[in-house]
Amino acid sequence: MNNTESSEPTDYRQSHVHRGRNYDGNLAADPFDAYMSDLERRHLQSIVPKLFPAGVPRYLDFACGTARITHTVAPYARQAVGVDVSPSMLLEARKRCPDVQFIEADLTQGGLTIGTFDLATAFRFFGNAQPALRAQVLKALAEVVKPGGYLIINNHRNPQSLASLLHRATGGRMEMDLSHFSLRRLLAEHGFRLVACHPIGAWLYRHKMMGQTRKVDERVLRRERLFGHAALAPIAPDTILVARRVA
């Protein structure tokens, strides 16, 4: 699990501008990043059809990057839009999802007319972004998600996960600051009511376990189901949060 992100630019907006070509390869090369990505995909394939049995009318993937999440969710949507500030990431996104509309823009700066959406996603963003940017993004998303619509996000860098707490207790260092409860408060402050949590990897209690290659087989899935209760989200290294825009 890569925890060197404190060396990134102060403004997270600039951190991935030139990373499109190597982003997917780097993600796949890190055992825990790849593990999270696989479980996130599986969860989304279950969550989205339950929220929208008849399909998603309009879907937005914020900070879509190379369209990893877009590729999973767009098949359930009648119209899908991806937004990102990185041209190199969008170049890869358009290759992966040629039928999706991708826009190079900063949603927090205003002036972009894209309408409103029934569903928005934002993955691998909030745990990395600086506090001011998190608030700006949630404010912008509250303006484009319809009242009653849904926002699905994740927190993949929880400093209060069991593995992180044990790592620090044994002398390790981590630059992570967004706890599960802090993210819940942020959502509420910007008009989103949490309706579901799906913890990932709560059973991985040792930091070094995250650095081991792990095939997502039936044995692993049984562990995820066993440790998948929402009550374990505060101590999971990654959690998918489903929130609804308050009318």
Q: pLDDT per residue over 126-181, tens digit each? A: 999 999 999 999 999 999 999 999 999 999 999 999 988 888 887 777 778 999 99
Per the structure block, which two tokens stand in for 158? 């929880």
Whole-model pTM: value is 0.92
CB contact at 8 A, 243 and 153: yes
Domain spans of the chain, in order of start: 5-245
CATH for the stretch 5-245: 3.40.50.150
Q: Which amino acid is at 241?
A: L
Give every CB contact of residue 168 below 8 A, 6+ residues apart in sequence: 174
- pLDDT tens per residue, range 79-132: 999 999 999 999 999 999 999 999 999 999 988 899 999 999 999 999 999 999
